[in-house]
Amino acid sequence: MEKNSSIISDLLQREFLAVLIVVVNAFSWYFPLYFFFESILESFQMETTFLVMAFGIQLAATTAFALVGTALVSRFPNRESFMVTWMLLGIISSLSMVMLEPHNFEQILLVSFLLGTSLGLGFPTCLAYFGDHSNIENRGLLGGITFFASGFSILLVGLILSFSTLVAGALILAAWRGIGLLLFLLAKSKQDYHKEKPIEVPYRAILFDKSFLLYLIPWAMFCVVNFLGIPVEINIYGKELGSYMPIAESAVGGFVALLGGWLADSVGRKRIIIVGFTMLGVGFAVLGLFPGNVLSWYLYITIDGIAWGIFSLMFFFVIWSELAGNRIKEKYYLIGVLPFLIASYIRILFTPFATLVEATAAFSLASFFLFIAVLPLLYAPETMPQKKIELRRLRSFAEDAKKAKEKYERKRDG
């Protein structure tokens, strides 16, 4: 009961409400935008070489401006004013898609650059904003609620865009970013958020941190395996089922994130992540053994949705914040998000060769690498202090004992 009231209290605080709005709006703006932009370029029937170039420029811009944004945020009066600037840039970049025309290569590359810039500039700060406004005791559940709201919003915006023309879609995305900005301005606290000044840390120190690498390597392996598997799956099961897959997995993942967040706060982060890798390894193994069986495919979609819910929660919201501790979190989140961005680009590079890959071998190999990815996690430290886990267990045990006693007394008096 005490835990539930603490969660509700955190959610209703003006500071965290602003965090919830800016994070949910960022996820539900960029992911539909990315797939909408990709579908527009496909409708233009651009050559594969040009697609690789366009998305390469977008990745380079995202990475470069993430580095710039991480350095630039300290020059603003506060983090909130930096968020406002970032969201305004998102509105402009969304509107820029209106000028896209088939075979106008310069315009397409310019828009791709703007989209990459508008994501990268503030995304690490957006996630660090969440990390700084959530307590370690309930960060998992708060992250689960945030991801659930993000998943629902992604589905909503994605569904609307699927029926939209280029101009209408660009206007919808700009309006959605604008709504997020307006709500953020209304929700953010009028007072500055005071917290102990974080310690500066060089990127080199983060990359050579053993604990950080023990979580980063499995996450990177998952991203590569998952994104390389998408073209193979579409090639085998058809584009229609392939397009249905992200929708189904978002729905499953959103609900799983809620449960996963609660469990992560109760038993720790590491165990939940290991369960996710193990389940996904089993899912790929089943696909490898029975690639033509429809039931194995639906089983895999469910398992992959569960894994995405767990990993999105842990690797977008929780782990990097806790490994950062009282150091600057933006740099941890920046490096932590890079495997996802790079792997999404590798998918585009690999897509033309997907037809050459034999399904059984691909899925079996994916299963093998996912089981291998568990090994670093066995040596990784638990990011939630053991004391807090034990205290929560004792509190839960005491509450159960109290309920049992009350139930017994009611029976006896009755």
DSSP string, 250-261: HHHHHHHHHHHH
In eight-state DSSP terms, residue 315 is I
pLDDT band at 130 (very low <50, low <70, confident <90, very high): very high
CA distance 397 to 394: 5
Please name which of 300, 267, 294 lies closest in space to residue 282, comparing C-alpha atoms. Answer: 300
Percent of the chain with pLDDT over 70: 85
Report the DSSP beta bridge partners of residue 199: 327
CA distance 135 to 318: 10
User: E strands along 36-172, which residues?
Assistant: none
In the prediction, which pLDDT does 409 show?
58
CA distance 127 to 209: 20
**Is it the case that residue 2 has pLDDT exceeding 50?**
no
Coil, helix or strand at residue 131: helix
Percent of the chain with pLDDT over 90: 45
Greater model confidence, 105 or 290: 105
Mean pLDDT of 187-199: 67
Q: Which of 124-133, 237-246, 291-300, 369-378 has the lowest mean pLDDT?
A: 237-246
In the prediction, which pLDDT does 392 show?
58
In the prediction, which pLDDT does 144 show?
92
Highest mean pLDDT among 175-179, 229-233, 286-290, 380-384: 175-179
Mean pLDDT of 213-238: 87
Domain annotation for the chain: domains and CATH numbers: 14-189 (1.20.1250.20), 201-399 (1.20.1250.20)
The type of residue at 320 is: W
Highest mean pLDDT among 55-69, 177-191, 287-301, 387-401: 55-69
**Is it the case that residue 401 has pLDDT exceeding 70?**
no
In eight-state DSSP terms, residue 318 is I
Which residue matches tokens 């932009």?
37
Mean pLDDT of the chain: 85
pLDDT digits (tens, 9 = 90+) for 97-107: 998 888 888 99
Greater model confidence, 217 or 364: 217
Alpha-helical (H) ranges within 44-138 are 48-72, 79-96, 105-120, 123-132
Please name which of 102, 117, 110, 100 lies closest in space to residue 59, comparing C-alpha atoms. Answer: 117
**Is it the case that residue 1 has pLDDT exceeding 50?**
no
In angstroms and rounded to an integer, the radius of gyration of the C-alpha atoms of the chain is: 22
pLDDT digits (tens, 9 = 90+) for 365-390: 888 888 898 999 999 999 987 666 55
Q: Which of 119-133, 151-165, 332-346, 392-406 has the lowest mean pLDDT?
A: 392-406
pLDDT digits (tens, 9 = 90+) for 237-259: 666 666 666 666 777 788 888 89
In the prediction, which pLDDT does 169 show?
94
pTM of the model: 0.88
